[in-house]
Structure 1
């Protein structure tokens, strides 16, 4: 079966509004899966890349690495998926498959000659540019296709393929669970997922947000406590309180102030990434054997583990489903934090 062109929304040039177009999809190979995309989440990283804020990019660009849909065809050698399966695709669609990281199931850290192949704004093994989920169909090797359990709606599952795994992975690695106190900095697209997941893991969860504006949302999502960081009393009141702090925001923070909220031996993990270097006073770490760490999405095995966990616990993203002709409006609203908490495109409208 050959897929020639499919409808999509693309940015024709850096910072340009996205517009409807048609893009090529490769012929279905022996181990490929053809997915009819139902929903595609809008991630802030889509905007960064369309605006070429992370370095030179490939245009026209079809963003989208939060993809949920249904298998409509499979190659002759496919064993992991079959027609009719509910599936998802995350931030990458290939990797070298041979390096230590790929063999360990942490393909996001592929150390092959070209690293992993991004779902969009990347170049595949065939030398052709990759195009993402703001389209009606995509062809992906079966190894990089995830199974979406029946317990999750495809619309609320789409953001799990980036926002979900971005927060699940550090919570899983650093042991959020019963008897552990976890603070989530920021209640946005990432933070609202972190609260749900940490709560389901059994941790005592505190949200640290600039104001109390979203307090009711935070408590409804599973937070036990909610504090405003604009209140100068907050940092004194919560000193030496947390085993783990997950920072989901990209804004400038006083790292020393937040590190003082950790217990001895605690860890602060960054998943939000400021666009420039930030100062850290080393004595903030030495005093108390504290750690400042980073985390980036997850490999295929852990992403599947996350989807299964979310299905088991009834966790999905809080979404606003939009038609494709509202993508540019949604980008503007993301930049002003006017979304609770993730935009998802109904790709039937493309």
Structure 2
């Protein structure tokens, strides 16, 4: 029978998130029911809750950086058992038969991946609700195992911020000897620095804020370049193999393109929208440079990332909050007043609203 759970939801684009009770769908044979312990707060939660991408479905329970404990499993599930610590990221299903799914790249499913929230279940048409809630029911193929040694609290944002930066670093084969730059030091950027450094790269942060240098070096950056300083930018012309651009709003990528060596790549992971101003084709053609993009990562790749984090002691820098503080957290995120990711303690749902 359906599972009634408590959570927090947005009722409209202009309303604050508030307590909300709803039913999770019936368990299927290949499903896993998860008691949610922690849920990261992603900037895309704000975009979706406020309908900034013009595709929002209400009521909406956000949250796609979920860590919890298996409560029960369906009759055909053999890879998980009650009590296992697990995670769920941005996807809860896909077609499972297109070329992208066959290659373990479910995020590019040619029939549209099913997102953890603000979507509809591909089997029964019911809305999907996210991790700002007590429990979730997910297909076993989209459940990640939390390896021993991972801090569950700091692991929650790995399921979006972590994999979003890990996937392009792996795809473009960043490793020992690579010269990598990260644009922006936020939830994505701080993980990009940690991962690139752990993979053996020489890491530089591009920033407009001189005050971020100390933190960037603490996170693993070897160098910091002020992108507003012409002399510093000229000093790194044609220097980098790879640039990870994590900035989520419109900005000029052209100065960064000139810091790429021949055959270098700038990969966008933060901006969902037009480039303004546009990329200068002369800068691309003149060095056979590439401007590309990357979306989260597949399930196998996400598990690889979690295992790497356990092996290297990597987690997100977080600030824990109660769910009753979520609206204030959204406002603080818009002011960049968090280092570097909020994580909700879902046990706080038991408190009086």
Alignment of 1:39-188 (within 5 A): 39-112=38-111, 115-124=112-121, 125-188=123-186
Alignment of 1:26 onto 2:25: yes
- 1:52-106 deviation digits (Å, cap 9, x = unpaired): 0111311000000000011111111101111111100000101111111111111
- Is the 8 Å Cα contact of residues 192 and 221 (structure 1) preserved in structure 2? yes
CA distance, structure 2, for counterparts of residue 274 and residue 117 of structure 1 = 19
Aligned partner of 2:314 in structure 1 is 315
Q: Provide runs of 4+ in structure 1 moved above 6 Å.
A: none
In structure 2, the residue matched to 1:219 is 217
User: Residue deviations 1:107-144, cap 9 Å, x none?
Assistant: 101112xx111100000021100000000100001000
Output the CA distance in 2 between the equivalents of 1:276 and 1:291: 17
1:257 partner SS: helix
Give 1:181-200 correspondences, 5 Å limit.
Answer: 181-200=179-198
Kindly indicate whether residue 259 of structure 2 is the aligned counterpart of residue 265 of structure 1.
Answer: no
1:246-274, CA deviations, whole angstroms, 9 ceiling, x for partnerless residues?
00002333322110000111111000115
Give 1:237-256 correspondences, 5 Å limit: 237-256=235-254
SS in 2 for 1:349: helix
CA contact (8 A) 1:211 1:227 kept: no
Aligned residues: 347
TM-score (norm 2): 0.96
Alpha-carbon separation, structure 1, partners of 2:282 and 2:128: 45
TM-score by structure 1 length?
0.97
Deviation at 1:148, TM superposition (A): 1.0
Who is 2:335 aligned against? 336
Shift of 1:186: 0.6
- 1:297 paired with 2:312, answer no
- Measured in 2, the distance between the counterparts of 1:170 and 1:88 equals 21
In 2, Cα distance between equivalents of 1:344 and 1:126:
31
Q: CA RMSD in A?
A: 1.0
Aligned counterpart, 2:34: 35
How much has 1:319 moved relative to structure 2? Answer: 0.3
Instruction: List runs of 5+ in structure 2 lacking aligned partners.
Output: none
Q: For residues 41 and 14 of structure 2, what CA distance do their matches in structure 1 show?
A: 16
